[in-house]
Amino acid sequence: MKKLSFLISMMLVFYCSLFAQVGINNDNSEPDNSAMLDVKSTSKGVLLPRMTRAQRDVMDGPVNGLMVFCSDCGTDGSLSIFTHGGWKTFAPCNIPAPVAGSHMASPGQITWNWNAVSWATGYKWSATPDYATATDVGSSLSKTEAGIICNTPYARYIWAYSGCGESGMTTLTQTIAAAPATPIAGTHLPTQVSVVWNWNRVPDATGYKWSATNVFSTATDIGLATSKTETGLTCGTTNIRYIWAYNGCESSGFGTLSQATWACGTCGAITINHLAGSVAPVSKTVTYGTVTNIPGETSKCWITSNLGSDHQATAVDDATEASAGWYWQFNRKQGFKHDGTTRTPATAWISSVSENFDWIPASDPCVLELGNGWRLPTYAEWYNIINAGNWTNWNGPWNSGLKIHVAGYLHGSVGSLGVRGSSGYYWSSSQGSTTDGWSLGIDSGGSDMTNYGRADGFTLRCVRD
């Protein structure tokens, strides 16, 4: 028997060397020209080496294209082919490998994410490229891993599977950066005695610390806030403060914040380029004077002319359009200019306004035209000034640092100009009722707070804390 086997082997070797092709069949047909080995049968198959996953994986130096049958790959075993440095398992349903999603990294942990795979009934995840020891995460498309070290690259592995086998392996990668970036200073909001410090939000930061000294360990933790209000400062002084971002890894370098408080007794003129649109009725550049230390509201900064006026009024009964400025209906951002004959813009007038809230910041012309920090005064602020200044007629407002004069108003019913030079009305931001708002009203015989219809067009003064 051994001699016969040896003889057959020798004949095959001789045949292969002679013809460079082998045909194995029982009908004496020649092998196909495209095949080195042509096996033909109607009742038998070709049987590859059979081995377990563990036996397959310890094979010494498998070459690309090597094939075996893995008996414990999948539910009933699968064909395995070595290619591109690893074994690929082919199941009858050919499950695609998962595609990595966007991982969520935060200090100390990573949530690994991947996309759903058609026909998959589950997934296995591992810290090593070993399917046999991987964690079965069922149908979940994410796996959260704790104990992550900052600034360290991580690789993890994921497979999809079903009853007919598993997919190829997908590698997931992620690195958690160490320290967050240093915060960058924003626009600070000063008064004579305070500063609202602002800085830009930092990606990956889980909080911020702020201090008057450059010492992180004693700095004030303010959580995720990006502003800090500091009071009790001295007017006319430059203040330096420090800000850090931090996360679960470590803190950033320090950012320096610098801001001077307003000069004592003043708060600085401002120049505004008004552009015609949904707030300003016309385009023009105006320089507004400012004043502080107004009795009743001594810490506030006020403009000394009406919003939209060319300059401060020349007398309490100044009836010029240039001194009057523009007019607004309550809680409406569109301003109107009136030259005594024509109202601009000449849009349809809103003759009835009914709503149950104060003037909101999104419609506040002081905010929209002068910038953040500026706003309409409240009822309480006007009331405090009237009482502290003992305003009983138009002399009190005019002789104060605010130089309030009688700029008239636009009639709520039709939007026409009235009483410019004899009466003046200045909105507060506070509502009186659903149809009225509180306003400072002055004339030669009185000065007080009164409810007026929201549809009336009154002048504005702006204030800043």
CATH of the domain at 151: 2.60.40.10
pTM above 0.75, yes or no: no
Instruction: Tell me what pLDDT residue 14 has.
Output: 46
Whether residues 335 and 373 share a domain: the answer is yes
Whether residues 414 and 374 share a domain: the answer is yes
Cβ proximity of 291 and 401 under 8 Å = yes
Q: Is residue 60 part of a domain?
A: yes
Whether residues 79 and 154 share a domain: the answer is no
Whether residues 312 and 400 share a domain: the answer is yes
Instruction: Tell me what pLDDT residue 83 has.
Output: 86
Whether residues 294 and 276 share a domain: the answer is yes
Give strand ranges (E) for 299-432: 301-303, 337-338, 343-344, 374-375, 409-410, 417-418, 423-431
Whether residues 209 and 317 share a domain: the answer is no
Tens digit of pLDDT per residue, the chain (465 long)? 445 444 444 455 444 444 568 878 888 888 888 878 878 888 888 888 999 989 998 999 899 989 998 888 766 677 888 988 888 877 566 788 999 999 987 767 899 999 999 889 999 999 999 998 999 999 999 999 998 877 788 999 999 998 777 888 999 998 876 778 999 999 998 876 788 999 999 987 889 999 999 999 999 999 999 999 998 888 889 999 999 999 877 889 999 999 998 777 567 788 899 999 999 999 999 999 999 999 999 989 999 999 999 999 999 999 999 999 999 999 999 999 999 999 999 999 999 999 999 999 999 999 999 988 899 999 999 999 999 999 999 999 999 999 999 999 999 999 999 999 999 999 999 999 999 999 999 999 999 999 999 999 999 999 998
Q: Is residue 77 part of a domain?
A: yes
Whether residues 457 and 365 share a domain: the answer is yes
Cβ proximity of 285 and 304 under 8 Å = no
Distance CA 109, CA 153 (A): 12
Whether residues 67 and 142 share a domain: the answer is no
Q: What residue numbers bound the domain in which 233 lies?
A: 189-260
Whether residues 304 and 365 share a domain: the answer is yes
Of 121, 144, 175, which residue constitutes the final position of a domain?
175
| Cβ neighbours of residue 167 closer than 8 Å, sequence gap 6 or more | 95, 96, 97, 98, 117, 120, 159, 160, 161
Cβ proximity of 302 and 290 under 8 Å = yes
Of 215, 236, 260, which residue constitutes the final position of a domain?
260
Q: Is residue 24 part of a domain?
A: no
Tokens at 322, concatenated: 């240039």
Whether residues 409 and 370 share a domain: the answer is yes
Cβ proximity of 140 and 111 under 8 Å = no
| Cβ neighbours of residue 43 closer than 8 Å, sequence gap 6 or more | none
Of 237, 260, 283, which residue constitutes the final position of a domain?
260
Whether residues 333 and 402 share a domain: the answer is yes
Q: Is residue 3 part of a domain?
A: no
Q: Is residue 6 part of a domain?
A: no
Instruction: Tell me what pLDDT residue 13 has.
Output: 46
Whether residues 274 and 405 share a domain: the answer is yes
- Give the three-class secondary structure for 386: helix
Q: Is residue 135 part of a domain?
A: yes
Q: Is residue 9 part of a domain?
A: no
DSSP for 193-230, please give it: S-EEEEB---TT--EEEEESSS-GGGSEE-TT-SEEEE
- How many domains would you assign to the chain? 4
Q: Is residue 412 part of a domain?
A: yes
